[in-house]
Amino acid sequence: MDAITDQDTETVVLMLAAQSGKTQCANLNPIGYYSHWEPSPILCVQPTLAEAEKFSKNRIAKMIRDTPVLRELFPSPRSRDSGNTLLNKEFPGGVLVIVGANSPLGLRGLPARVSSWTRRRLRGIAGTEGDPVDLAKKRSTKFWNRKIVLTSTPHIKNLSRIERAFDSSDKRYYYVPCPQCGEMQKLEWPRLKWKTEDIAVNSRPRVVDWYYVCVNGCEIRERSKHEMIRSGSWRATAVSHDGKTAGFHLNALYGVVDWLNLIQEWLEAQTSLER
């Protein structure tokens, strides 16, 4: 959130696991901030037009309804000629346009200072009009203080567009302290260990013990995860290609899904016929 409102940062890349707050950070909070504090033309891009309409109804409309300061900015959609339609919402000093990434007309029709992309795979699906992210960037060239926010879960390694975007950023990872030795480190899947019994449960081995091994060899139990996260911090590990791109990576080990469920999902995937 600091990077999205930082004038020295132009592009923010969020490569995050599922259910880790992507929509709140990349869409809802920036829309609220820039419509209230820095009124601007805002472009919010969803994967398809149908999902854009769903997002407007289920998330944006409710945010406006439940936030007094935003409720004052956005006119009621019930009034005639209110300037507040499902995909086009005017407010003093700016407008919010919600489009689908598969709609080239929507992507090229608005000069936007702020453009936000979220959910699923970022890829070129705007027909013959070219890459949709490039289209969105072209709409912001007239703004010296433009802001572009890209967020998605990664797809196939080395083929994911969000991964390429992250690789061009300053590559920030969330470092947490080991509760035993205090060593700051990022959580990585290969360091999650578990033991199983031979008895199969639902065609899977039964996990009887699991823990995380810190870089110094300490065994960390999951009950320490929340305190570790509360005591952690973001650390940049590279220099971005343009000096203006902040990238954030957060895997599922940090998330709301507990480690046991992640292990069980991984074990199930190893035997899935749909691999």
DSSP calls for 116-182: EE-SS-----SGGG--HHHHHHHTTTT-TT-EEEEEE---STTT-HHHHHHHTS--EEEEEE-TTT-
Residue 129 is predicted with a pLDDT of 53
**Residues of the chain below pLDDT 50:** 124-128, 275
**CA-to-CA distance for 64 and 105, rounded, in angstroms?**
26
CA 270 to chain centre: 27
Residue 82 is predicted with a pLDDT of 62
**CA-to-CA distance for 181 and 59, rounded, in angstroms?**
43
pTM: 0.87
Q: For the chain, which residues make up each domain, given as ranges?
A: 11-167, 174-229+262-271
DSSP 58: I
Residue 18 is predicted with a pLDDT of 82
Residue 217 is predicted with a pLDDT of 97
Query: Residue 247, exposed/middle/buried by CB under 10 A (0-12, 13-18, 19+)?
Result: buried
Residue 137 is predicted with a pLDDT of 72
At the top level of CATH, the class of 11-167 is alpha beta
Residue 125 is predicted with a pLDDT of 47
Residue 2 is predicted with a pLDDT of 94
Residue 36 is predicted with a pLDDT of 96
